Structure 1
Amino acid sequence: MRISTTISRTLMVIAVVSGATSPATAASAVVRSGDTIQLGDSVFRLDGIDAPEVDQLCIDDHADSWNCGVEAREQLTRLIGGRSVRCDDLGPDKPLKTRRIGICTVDGDKMSLNQQVARAGFAVSADPAAKYRGKDDIAAARETLSGLWKGCFVAPGEFRTDKKDGVLLGASCRADRDREIRAALFPDAPAMPPGCSIKGKFAVRARVTGNIGIYHLQGCPSYPATTEPDRWFCSEDDARAAGFRRAFNCRAPKGK
């Protein structure tokens, strides 16, 4: 009995030290963006991929601007199809410690949502150290011109940092229309996506607190004055994950 107990305790210590994943209970999912879902009180970002932000614009194969961020969110919603989702918890997300990294699977599916989103062409590769390494699936989507790849876009990470001179991706990027394409991908006054009313502005003064911008909530004195936001966010968590802080004239909502 003592030997058995010692072995059992040793295995528990090894599991903790090795950072073994802990599966989350299957639950109904609320889709927050093309690579982020909420299960109960836990928010998971899909490991290994980076999908467009909800307010991000892309160019389609007819040279027209379209809200690829909203479409990516809808794509993930369709993949889930109202079924329960289970996520293996891989630990906290670096940009936002309250958010988790996960490999998530819909009940009844053999392929993870991470892989399905990559194969559908609605994401680029994220952290090279990710457990799910989607390079092959993303390369296949690029080869078949699936999803984003049939048009022209910038990587979500470059969109988040307002890198207007970043690399253009996709089959429809034209060197002779470079200036027009970049103007469409980074409009001066982007339209508000459905359900995303928080305004974000890039600001040098925000760097004092380690941020790249400031966000304004409805009801804040600064909200009406922010007539041309650079970004739109659906939640404060989304804004904080993107590197924005709340405007100092905004009172914290109850419970925050």
Structure 2
Amino acid sequence: MALAADLTGTASVIDGDTLEIRGTRVRLHGIDAPESQQLCQDGAGKDWRCGQKAALALSDRIGRRPVTCERKDKDRYGRVVAACFVGGENLNAWMATNGWAMAYRQYSKDYVGAEATARAARAGIWAGTFQPPWEWRATKREGKPQAANQSRPAPAPTSTGAPSSGCQIKGNINSKGERIYHVPGGRFYDQTRIDTSDGERWFCSEDEAQAAGWRRAGQ
């Protein structure tokens, strides 16, 4: 089914990777910014409101200019997933390049290069230590308080190592919330990344995957 037309208008910044345009929530494709209440640590180990700062950086970049978002998908929460532009500039890329968001490799590799630029420059969150936003959300879901000793220099890709040599089937959750497993040799097996903090997992057999509610990838 074809996606609806691009969305253009005045944007309100919800957080570092979410906008609202004319009543429609838009999740910026391919990046993951610190959550609004998330703390990071600077080079001296001092806490700072990185999530709040990321949102302010995005808001300042947009100003009062109209934003145009190219729809790509809808996420599991019903939000439009899009690449958004202001004055011809890709906001998704700008957030990653300036260290206010990580490349969200689970869904896209479009901004891996932008993230590498920020990491090399120690820009934004890369100036100190922090939890990747997806890990921070998982910690909150488990009811654990955020502590300084939970933070660390953020890694590059999400976890891809299988727990054991016999468990090679990748249980992935796509942007629509569908649970799909990929077997070795499948078309998308090598490029699929597993992030266990988001509910994804490894399976030791197809029977195990199907019993857990996953379906086999079509290719």
Are 1:118 and 2:101 matched, yes or no? no
Cα distance, 1:33 vs. partner?
0.1
Cα distance, 1:111 vs. partner?
2.3
- Kindly name which structure, 1 or 2, has the bigger radius of gyration based on alpha carbons: 1
Aligned residues: 150
Q: Distance in 2 between matches of 1:113 and 1:61?
A: 26
What is the TM-score when the length of structure 1 is the normalising length? 0.54
Q: 1:184 to 1:148 in 2, by over 3 A?
A: closer
**Identical amino acids, percent of aligned pairs:** 33
The match for 2:202 is: none
The amino acid of 1:69's aligned partner reads G
> Retained in 1: the 8 A contact 2:130–2:151?
no
Cα distance, 1:127 vs. partner?
4.2
Q: Superposition pairs for residues 137-156 of structure 1, below 5 Å?
A: 137-156=114-133
What is the TM-score when the length of structure 2 is the normalising length? 0.62
The match for 1:22 is: 5
Q: Distance in 2 between matches of 1:136 and 1:113?
A: 15
> Retained in 2: the 8 A contact 1:119–1:137?
yes
Cα distance, 1:21 vs. partner?
6.4
Cα distance, 1:62 vs. partner?
2.1
Cα distance, 1:92 vs. partner?
1.1
Are 1:80 and 2:67 matched, yes or no? no
* Residues 151-201 of structure 1: per-residue CA shift (max 9 Å, x gap): 1001000000008xxxxxxxxxxxxxxxx732679xxxxxxxxxxxxxxxx
Q: Distance in 2 between matches of 1:118 and 1:111?
A: 13
**What CA RMSD, in Å, does the superposition of the two structures yield over aligned residues?**
2.6
Q: Distance in 2 between matches of 1:49 and 1:129?
A: 9
> Retained in 2: the 8 A contact 1:33–1:53?
yes
- Runs of 5+ consecutive residues of structure 1 not aligned to the other structure: 1-15, 164-179, 186-241, 244-256
Residue of structure 2 aligned with 1:56, choices 38, 41, 62 = 38
Cα distance, 1:58 vs. partner?
0.3
Residue of structure 2 aligned with 1:136, choices 101, 110, 113 = 113
Cα distance, 1:100 vs. partner?
1.1
Q: Distance in 2 between matches of 1:124 and 1:62?
A: 22
> Retained in 2: the 8 A contact 1:22–1:90?
no
The amino acid of 1:139's aligned partner reads A
Q: Distance in 1 between matches of 2:107 and 2:151?
A: 33
Q: Distance in 2 between matches of 1:111 and 1:21?
A: 22
